Structure 1
Amino acid sequence: MSTAIATTDTFDELINGDLPVLVEFGAVWCGPCRMIEPVLEEMSVEYADRLRVAKIDVDEHPEIAMRYGALSVPTLILFKDGEQIRRTVGARPKRQLLKALEGGF
């Protein structure tokens, strides 16, 4: 699996890394989160040289979800140099997700 699992302890270091990071705020009980999982895994391999993909469980790490206003799952936030630059909510096909993130990585 190329997708990183983020935690409260590793989140800030992750989003301040050398590559942009797409973080999925999700939960194990979330059907749309499971639907988007293969898309995110594919992106993590296909764009490995210019994008990291990570996920954080909002039930296990609610303070991170609250900090970024991830009130619905899945919420996908693209971070670059520690700053949020794109946000999308809900599961989308790969083509639509890439369009929503266009220019961010």
Structure 2
Amino acid sequence: MSVKTLTKDNFTTEVLQSDQAVLLDFWAPWCGPCRMVSPIVDQVAAEVDGRAKVGKVNVDEQPELAAQFGVMSIPTLIVMKQGKAVATRVGVQSKQAILNMLG
């Protein structure tokens, strides 16, 4: 499964109405730690294909979504289930830590 680029236009359909858990990766291109966690998030997306969705939110392009979730530092990873945030981690996380967030 590919990682989806999330915007305010597709967020409701892709995340809030999803019947699967969704891992959100809030990031920006200029963020060094974000570039470190990005390939890990891609690996997680491949591993959870069919069980969960993975999406990336560029905080520079989608400031409304970042504000909606109170994202103050990036990278921030949030797991959504049935339209609600159920787990949040800030900073670089290991692949296992991210998988554990998804349950």
TM-score, normalized by the shorter chain, greater than 0.5: yes
- Distance in structure 2 (CA, Å) of the matches to 1:28 and 1:36: 12
Paired residue for 2:9? 9
Q: Which residue of 1 aligns with 2:41?
A: 40
CA distance in 1, matches of 2:102, 2:78: 13
The alignment covers a number of residue pairs equal to 102
Q: What's 1:61 paired with? A: 62
Gaps of 5+ in 2: none
Amino acid aligned to 1:98: L
Q: In structure 1, list runs of 5 or more residues that go unmatched.
A: none
TM-score normalised to structure 1 length: 0.90
8 Å Cα contact 2:79-2:102 kept in structure 1 = no
The code of the aligned residue for 1:63 comes to E
* CA distance in 2 between partners of 1:55 and 1:40 (Å): 9
- On the 8 A contact 2:23/2:102 being kept in 1, the answer is no
Give a deviation string over 1:1-45, Cα, whole Å, max 9, x none. Answer: 711000110112111212110000110101111111111111111
Tell me how far 1:102 sits from its aligned partner.
Answer: 5.3
Alignment of 1:1-105 (within 5 A): 2-15=2-15, 16-99=17-100, 101=101, 103=103
Aligned CA-pair RMSD = 1.3
Structure 1 Cα separation of the partners of residues 11 and 92 of structure 2: 22
